[in-house]
Amino acid sequence: MHRRGFLQGLIVLAMSGLPAGIAAQSARVAVVDAITSAPVGGAFVSLLEGTNPVSVSETDADGRVELQADGSGDFTLTVRALGYRDFTSETLTLSVGEYVELEVRMGVDALPLEPLVVVASGRMLSRAMEGFERRRADPTLGGSYLTRAEIERRPIASPTELLYALPSVSVQPIMTLDSPYAQERNLIWFPNSRNRAVNPGACLAEVYVDGVRVQQSLGTSVDDLVTASLLEGVEVYPRAFAAPAEFRGTGECGVVLLWTKEPESSRGSWGWKRILTGGALLGLLVGIAVVG
């Protein structure tokens, strides 16, 4: 009785947060020939929970297939391909909102070769964070970015205080007659040639939280809506034309995009996070005069 080969390596990506609209965990499988490393198309790959098949599919011409599970747990993977020995993996653990990447090397029937599985894992990204990572990797954009790992290295409770070290951003506390020295509640400004009554030579930033525009005012700060501990990523564009087209607002000032973590229970694009954000906005904006 031959022994199955199972080599497991782990790559942890700097990502976290369960994406909105993604309810399944997945196994991303690449099936290749053990000798030539050529992709094996048309292989039947099954994801099993115990003896029950959870997902069954066929590899494409590149030898790749993705199988999804509705919940987390322990699974096994089987692969069958014409001209190759059948393969069954050892136990694979899929956690909530995560994926595993596997490369299965198939030995032919006539050769005593053991299949080899190489495993990698990481967090599945939401569409919003996929866009964030795509823009962060684009050198043609004039933006500044803070990832979750960078935010965690800055033990700051106020989201606006995270922007102190970024170029072209001015963060100033909200000071009113009833609260002349408000703590940890700031407005975000960018340089601008237009004179403003409150801050001459500067303009109030266009701010979006999870794609929802937030209007800053003397009574409304981003710090009222979210804490730094909930932030997944931050994008700053000192000039509106450099920001993504859908987030340029009036086009008169720079743009700040704040992306928050999705809770594990979220399943739709309008989970509790956006509902709370929208409710907070309505409560804060009613009866408040907007600066500008």
User: For 7-65, how does the pLDDT look when each residue is reduced to its tens digit (9 = 90+)?
Assistant: 222 222 222 233 333 334 888 999 999 889 899 999 999 999 999 999 999 999 999 99
Domain ranges of the chain: 25-123, 127-285
- Average pLDDT (146-150) is 89
- Which CATH number among 3.30.930.10, 2.60.40.1120, 3.40.228.10, 3.40.50.170 corresponds to the domain 25-123? 2.60.40.1120
pTM, entire model:
0.51
Over residues 226-276, the pLDDT tens digits come to: 888 889 999 999 988 888 888 988 888 999 999 998 765 444 444 444 444
| Range 127-285 classified under CATH 3.40.800.20 | no
What ranges in the chain are assigned the alpha helix state H? 127-136, 148-152, 272-285
Q: Give residues with Cβ within 8 angstroms of 66, minimum separation 6.
A: 26, 27, 28, 29, 57
Residue 25 is which amino acid? Q
Beta strands in 70-125 (DSSP E): 73-80, 87-88, 92-94, 98-106, 116-123
Tell me the sheet residues that pair with 249.
none
- How many residues in total does the chain contain? 292
Closest CA to 260 of 205, 220, 214, 217: 214
- Whole-angstrom Cα distance, residue 91 to residue 95? 13
